[in-house]
Each structure stands twice: as C-alpha cells, then as structure tokens.
Amino acid sequence: MVKIIVRRSKKGAKEENLQAGFTLWEILLVLFILGVILSLATSHFDSTTNQVLVRVDLANKVRIEGAARLYQLDIGTYPLSVSHLVQAPNGMSGWRGPYLDEIPINPFDSAQVYQIDAWGQVQ
C-alpha cells in the first residue's frame, strides 16, 4: 500500500485565494496602443483612396477626350456635350458612334457632369 502525503504550506494557501485577471492600467495601455496603430493605418488607406479617385477621374477625362477627337474626325467639330458621344444629336449627318458606351461618372461628385470645351478638352 502506498501512502500519499500532501503538505500544505501557508504560501500555498495564499496562492489559492488570488484571483487571475488584468488591471485597469493594463487594459487601458492595450487600448491606447491599438488606437495608435488604427489611426496610422486609417490615414494610410485614406490617402490611397484619394489617389484612386484622382486616377479614375484622369482616366475618364482621357477617355472622353479620345472619343471627342473621333467625333471631331467624323463630324468636323467637337461635340457640344458628352451626351453627343453616346447618342447621335438630332439632324446630325456623318455620326458613326456611339463613341462611348456610357457617360462616365465623376468619382468626386456624381452629380457633376464632365463638360467639353471648343477644343475638345474636358473641364
């Protein structure tokens, strides 16, 4: 027969009464560090979004100016509006369009429409 002897010291009794967990300062420190990391990441993604919008706007302008140039080669003058690149103006002869599938949307303000000046440049 084997006898098991368990010794209990006063130190062991104190350890049993302690509760495990984090202090308020530790939790606040972790939240502060996460906030700093999040603010740095958010500013990085915000500037990237703005760069994408600028590139989309530039691509739309180049596309419209190319279509306006094709319109000018067929008709002899630049179109008065971007809608003339999608649908033929009334009474227009020589129109071989559509020069654009659809009117591009301005990425900065969807209510704002691109305008073409007398030289075929987009405003």
Nearest Cα residue to 99 out of 107, 113, 88, 114: 88
Q: Please indicate whether residue 10 or residue 55 has the higher confidence score (pLDDT).
A: 55
**Cα 75 to Cα 21, 65, 119, distances in angstroms:** 79, 15, 14
Where helices occur in 1-123 by DSSP H, the ranges are 10-17, 24-75
User: Can you give the length of the chain in residues?
Assistant: 123
CA angle (44 as vertex; 39, 47 as ends), nearest 5:
125
pLDDT one-digit tens code per residue, 14-66: 555 566 788 899 999 999 999 998 888 777 777 778 888 999 999 999 999 99
For the stretch 69-111, pLDDT in tens is 999 998 888 998 898 889 888 877 888 878 899 999 999 888 8
**Residue 68: its pLDDT value, please?**
92
pTM of the model: 0.62
- Whole-angstrom distance, CA of residue 87 vs CA of residue 90: 9
